[in-house]
Amino acid sequence: MKLMIRVVSILTISTLIFLCLFNIKFSVKKVGEYSMSPSLSINDIALFEKGDHELKRFDIVLMKQNSTYSIRRVIGLPGENIRYKNDILYVNGKEQSELFIRKEISESELAGGFFTEDFTLYDLINKMEIPNNQYLVLNDNRFFKNDSRRYGLIESSDIKGVLKSNFSII
Residue that wins the pLDDT comparison between 140 and 166: 140
Residues 84-123 have pLDDT tens digits of: 999 999 999 999 999 999 999 999 999 999 999 999 999 9
Of all residues in the chain, the percent with pLDDT exceeding 70 is 91
What's the whole-number average pLDDT of the chain? Answer: 88
Please answer whether residues 30 and 69 qualify as being in contact, where contact means their C-beta atoms are separated by less than 8 angstroms.
no
Mean pLDDT is highest, among 2-6, 22-26, 109-113, for 109-113
Q: How far does Cα 14 stand from its chain's mean position?
A: 32
Does the pLDDT value for residue 60 go beyond 90?
yes
Q: Which pLDDT band, with edges at 50, 70 and 90, does 17 fall under?
A: low
Instruction: Check residue 136 and give its pLDDT.
Output: 98
C-alpha dist (Å) from residue 168 to 42, 46, 61, 72, 83: 9, 9, 18, 18, 33
Does the pLDDT value for residue 21 go beyond 70?
no
Mean pLDDT on 68-83: 96
The class that CATH gives domain 29-168 is: mainly beta
Residues 131-156 have pLDDT tens digits of: 999 999 999 999 888 999 999 999 99
Does the pLDDT value for residue 158 go beyond 90?
yes
Is 99 exposed, middle or buried (CB count within 10 Å of its CB: 0-12, 13-18, 19+)?
exposed
